[in-house]
Structure 1
Amino acid sequence: MMRRSCQILRALALGICWVGHGTADTQNTGLQPYQMVRSLQLVQDRIASGDHASLPMQKKLLELIDLRLRTAGEEDFKDSRNVQALMIYAMSGGNPSTVATSLARPELPDADRDAGAGILAYLVGDVNQARAALDSIDPVKYPDEISAFLSLIKGSVLASEEYDAAISHLDRARLLGPGTLIEEAALRRTVSLAVAKRDATRFLAVSEQYARRFLRSPYAAQFAEAFIAGVVELRSELDLNGLDQTIAWMTGEQARTIYLRLARRAAIDGDKQLLAYASKRASEYPPSEAESDPRAELYSSISTVTSDAVTETLNRLEGLDGSGLTQKDRALLKAAKTVANEVVAPVKPTALPAFEQPEAEDAPEDTSGIVETTRARLQAIDKLLEETAQ
């Protein structure tokens, strides 16, 4: 670890000198693009393991590699290691302009140029062009570090059309890049892909793998979003108790946040079973503060706003301190209180006509006013609930 840190610091120190002395000196440092990319990969490994402080270092290294590639000569690209470094730089989010210029160099092998064209298309967001360019590219024919990246990209661009092929590529990316940002990204994308294809078994398995390995990643929040969306989308096909295996790997605060967010979604969607499950689980992870979290009270109360205990529920809702809620949750609280008030409010009967109706044929009561009023109230409530889901 100490040796790796020294390598990274050396690359940064040299890079600072390059920036200070201008581009003319970049070719005289003796450091090749592939050497700089190795330092980039070390930094990325640290990011994957949860070292968020390395994110600025990654950005700086990408800038320095960009500078080095733009000043690279013909001899530099005759070294296959530098060609591979160009591809890794591109797949790490490098400058598209620099990548395009480098790919146009005549000394690049055609096979690498073709693969590079697909990578460049993916880099600029042209998924269709990337899919077409990479169609004939077999990632297995490349060294493992290139193959892992190419597999990740092919799996991503095939996701919407060829589920099995996409999963195969993403699985290969994970196997070839264990513990790296490649594996981290492949797991996240597999989670989303499993949801899209309603593959509940794979969704649970891959979610647990991610939780075991990458919860400290700076991209873990994206996983959390995909996980919550997946639970809601696959609700009818999931055993709720199976979620506990994934969430058990999280810290108490992470687990509590996940359960509360699931409870909120369930409250909005009217899923009483999921709401009861998530609220109960959230209560098992009390907040660190001395006072209770108003979110838990809000979500657990929502499921009873139309029950026989609605009066008690309304009292609890009225007693909640909205200052501890987000703007969206305050809107949800407002909607819940509106619903509860409508349930307990007495219905005012329409006044009967002043004259008696014939006994043989009673005139029907004119309830159109009640119906229209109720419909308007329900529409207003629905609007409030829809707004909280935005």
Structure 2
Amino acid sequence: MTRWSLAGLLVLGTALPASAETDAAAALEPQQLEPYQIVRSLELVQDRLAGGDHASQPMQRKLLEMIDARFATRESARFENELNRRALLIYAMSGGNPATLEAGLAHLGKDDPNRLLGEKILLYVNGKPNEALEAFASVDPMTYSPDVGMYVALVKGSMMAEAEPGKALPMLDRARLLGPGTLVEEAALRRSISVAVTLGDTKRFLRYAEQYVRSYLHSPYASQFADTFVAGVVALQDKVDRRAVVDLAAMMEPEQEKVIYLRIARRAAIDGLIDLAAFAATQAEEMADDPRAELYASLSLVTSGEIDNVLERLSRIDRERLSENDRRLLDAASAIAAELTAGTKPAGAQSQARPIRSVGPEPVITAAGDETAKTTPVPSRSRSPGPGRGVDASVEKAEAMVAATRAKLADIDKLIGDMPE
């Protein structure tokens, strides 16, 4: 079998065949290469992962282990090389060991820009977001070399996403500008989609989503994109152009397209968004006969309080074609629908026989009844809720019932945690 050299990979820019990658990593001694060379190999492998080469994942793990071992040695001469100092930062921001970063920074001079930046990165990788965000406030990724700057922009933009979403998008755009076609761009796009939802910016939401689908639909992190996209469509359902959603979904592979619609239908159904759930379920049904589409469309009716014929619809669903968790969701929806139906049935015959008091002006008191009228007080209006209050109470009761239904299904959905795949 041909042995591949990682050093040769760096020089030639050649992609290793998936079948040879693990052998190459296993056959190579870390001491044969400078740390920055192994880090460059890691970046190449990660970029292939972003493009959909899932077979590169074992190579990524092996390279991270090799880099960690190389930086963990007690030799300090390697840090005389500026490329190695920068590689230490890139390694840390690429999922490296925080302890290795901390040990490596000790070899750098106190005024070394790499050490100053590394100390800020250390706050981030050690899970101290507030301190890290404050430390990064004055950091401009454009002042660093692009190989470091793109990671800095991604880290800073990710931290700003929650605290300052309006400023996070430009920072994530810089990460994409500095690292086109890389795993950094893939991650920046995923985060940008989420931030656009937070800001309620439908144009950016759809634009970022389209860019992701065109370039990174086969990334191992595409499932995270799907979660974010579905959440965005549901959150922005009053503003998002459904024709644009259809066009974007059509760019996916048929199975991915169907799953996206099923996820939207399920989430919308739980939230009681009848129109959106019906739209997504219809789109899914047009692609394939899937009982999940009917289930989620029926769920939306249950959570909206419109339960006419919903029990019949649920009973027609083929349970055998559902996953175990969706069967549990079907059973829960059927039970709730039955409970709601029972709650809306008219009262029994005895109750119906009671005289119904007419609503209208007070009856005219005749002369013969004057004495009775004087001694029998007429109930004041304040003692009776009146027809208006009765209607209000019924509406409030119905709204409370619908809210309770949604809450029940939401709790069940969280407990099950099984989204269409």
Query: One fold, TM greater than 0.5?
Result: yes
Equivalent pair of 1:83/1:108 in contact (CA under 8 Å): no
Q: 1:289 matched to which residue of 2?
A: none
C-alpha spacing 1:302/1:154, structure 2 compared with 1 (3 Å): closer
Equivalent pair of 1:4/1:42 in contact (CA under 8 Å): no
Q: 1:260 matched to which residue of 2?
A: 262
C-alpha spacing 1:358/1:117, structure 2 compared with 1 (3 Å): closer
Q: 1:387 matched to which residue of 2?
A: 411
Equivalent pair of 1:69/1:98 in contact (CA under 8 Å): yes
Q: Deviations over 1:68-90 (max 9, x none)?
A: 01115222111101011111111
Q: 2:295 matched to which residue of 1?
A: 298
Amino acid at match of 1:386: A
SS at match of 2:341: helix
TM-score (norm 1): 0.83
Equivalent pair of 2:154/2:172 in contact (CA under 8 Å): yes
2: CA distance, partners of 1:194 / 1:137: 23
Deviation at 1:106, TM superposition (A): 3.6
TM-score (norm 2): 0.77
Equivalent pair of 2:270/2:300 in contact (CA under 8 Å): no
Q: 1:204 matched to which residue of 2?
A: 206
Amino acid at match of 1:94: G
C-alpha spacing 1:174/1:321, structure 2 compared with 1 (3 Å): same
2: CA distance, partners of 1:132 / 1:309: 52
Equivalent pair of 1:263/1:279 in contact (CA under 8 Å): yes
Q: 1:90 matched to which residue of 2?
A: 92
C-alpha spacing 1:36/1:337, structure 2 compared with 1 (3 Å): same
Structure 1 counterpart of 2:152, from 150, 153, 172: 150
Give aligned-pair identity as a percent: 44
2: CA distance, partners of 1:271 / 1:10: 48
Q: 2:14 matched to which residue of 1?
A: 4
Equivalent pair of 1:11/1:36 in contact (CA under 8 Å): no
Q: 2:314 matched to which residue of 1?
A: 317
Aligned Cα RMSD in Å?
3.4
Q: Deviations over 1:209-265 (max 9, x none)?
A: 111111100000001111111111112221222212321221110010010111112
Q: Give the total of aligned pairs.
A: 367
Correspondence list, 1:82-161, <5 A: 82-107=84-109, 110-161=112-163
Q: 1:61 matched to which residue of 2?
A: 63
2: CA distance, partners of 1:118 / 1:308: 55
Equivalent pair of 1:328/1:388 in contact (CA under 8 Å): no
Structure 2 counterpart of 1:343, from 341, 344, 347: 341
Q: Deviations over 1:280-336 (max 9, x none)?
A: 2112221xxxxx32101212334556899933x433321323243345433432344
2: CA distance, partners of 1:55 / 1:380: 45
Equivalent pair of 2:282/2:293 in contact (CA under 8 Å): no
Deviation at 1:103, TM superposition (A): 0.7
2: CA distance, partners of 1:163 / 1:258: 26
Q: Deviations over 1:16-75 (max 9, x none)?
A: 554xxxxxxx54x3x100111111111111101101111121011000110001115222
Structure 2 counterpart of 1:333, from 330, 335, 339: 330
Q: Deviations over 1:146-192 (max 9, x none)?
A: 11111111111222233343211110111111111100000001011
Give structure 1 stretches of 5+ with no counterpart. 19-25, 287-291
C-alpha spacing 1:100/1:12, structure 2 compared with 1 (3 Å): farther
C-alpha spacing 1:7/1:320, structure 2 compared with 1 (3 Å): closer
Deviation at 1:109, TM superposition (A): 5.2
Correspondence list, 1:185-264, <5 A: 185-264=187-266
C-alpha spacing 1:111/1:211, structure 2 compared with 1 (3 Å): same
1: CA distance, partners of 2:326 / 2:26: 48
Q: 1:22 matched to which residue of 2?
A: none
Q: 2:375 matched to which residue of 1?
A: none
Equivalent pair of 2:123/2:131 in contact (CA under 8 Å): yes
